[in-house]
Structures are given as structure tokens and as C-alpha cells.
Amino acid sequence: MKKVLLTVLAVLGFVLAANAANSGSFTISVNTPATIAIALRNAGDSSDYTAWAAGEVALGGNTTMATAQAVLVKNTSNVSICLTALATTPGGIWSVGSTAATNVISIGLYQNNALSSLLTALPATTLSTSDVTIASYIAVGANKYIGAVLNLPTFSSTGNTQYISVTITALIEPAS
């Protein structure tokens, strides 16, 4: 029995000695928090974007934003982003729909990397009152130019000025 125990201890000691090392290492994984931010600027990047004065448009008519009226969306995040948008009609009689109808407006957005090519991005993505993706993969520091097409109601029960609010939201670009 002593011989067997000594043999087992000797083999175990050899195995332990073979696995011994004078150093070791391990990996540390660190994630930095994503900072998501966009800036909405005028087409010339000289001031913050505030409003598109679409002007007077006849019922049932439509108007397309001129290139000089475009919105410059700057990705000031530290991650790649995508953009979503939605439209609302705060306090008005009109509502937002996929097509213009009585008291219903339809608004679409189109986008491009270059202002000079913005109108080639038509047709527009139609907005709703829920988020719709309007641009994918905008790298850190990159820009997108956004234009709009507005289709007015076929009939309106008011002659008052109506306001349409478009909200653009930046989200972390999903991993592909």
C-alpha cells in the first residue's frame, strides 16, 4: 500500500511540477458608454435648424423642400448611428397619414450624404406618428442631409395655419 501511495504522490507531484509557471495572465474587457448625439443645422451649417417655412400651398397640393432649405444632421456621437423620424400635428385639426385626405397630411423625408445630390434621393420615406427608419449607418463624425415632401389635405375644415412637427431620433446602429 505504501508503494502505491508513494507512486501516486510521485506522479501527482510530476504533473503539478509540469503545470507550474512563473507568470500568468488574464484578459480585462472594458466597455465605454456610448454617447448618442446629433445636431440639426441649416444646409450651409451656419446655424441651428429651426423651421421649414413651406409657404402657401393649395389644398390637395404638395411642395418639396428646396436644397437650400435642407436639414443637415451631424453625427456628434462617439458611435455609429441610424436615424428614425416621426411626424405629429400638435394642437391642430390636421393629422398625419400615409396619404393626404380630408384633414390628413402626408409627409415624407429623403436623405443623402451630399447636399448637391439630395433631390436624387427621392422618393421619400413616408412618416407616421410612430418612428420610421430614415437613414442607416451614419459613421462617427459623418453627416446626412434631409429634405421633405409635404402633401396637403384634399379638404380642410379650417383655414388656420397648421403646424407639423418632425422629430428625428438617433439610435445606436445595430450590429450586423
Residue of 12, 168, 151 whose CA lies nearest to 87: 168
Q: What's the number of domains the chain is made of?
A: 1
Domain contains 30? no
Domain contains 46? yes
Rg (CA), the chain: 30
The 10s digit of each residue's pLDDT in 3-61 is: 444 444 444 444 445 566 788 888 888 877 889 999 999 999 999 999 999 988 999 99
Q: Across residues 146-173, what is the average pLDDT?
A: 92
The answer to whether 117 and 59 have CB atoms below 8 angstroms apart is: no
Q: At 155, is the pLDDT very low, low, confident or very high (cuts 50, 70, 90)?
A: very high
CATH number at residue 58: 2.60.40
Partners of 74 in the β-ladder: 39, 143
Q: Strand 132-138 relative to strand 81-88: parallel, antiparallel, unpaired?
A: antiparallel
Partners of 166 in the β-ladder: 87
- 142: containing domain: 38-172
**The three three-digit cell numbers of residue 5, written as one number:** 501511495
How many Å separate Cα 40 from the centre of its chain?
Answer: 12
The 10s digit of each residue's pLDDT in 65-118 is: 999 999 999 999 999 999 999 999 987 899 999 999 999 999 999 999 999 888
Domain contains 24? no
Domain contains 86? yes
Domain contains 126? yes
Domain contains 133? yes
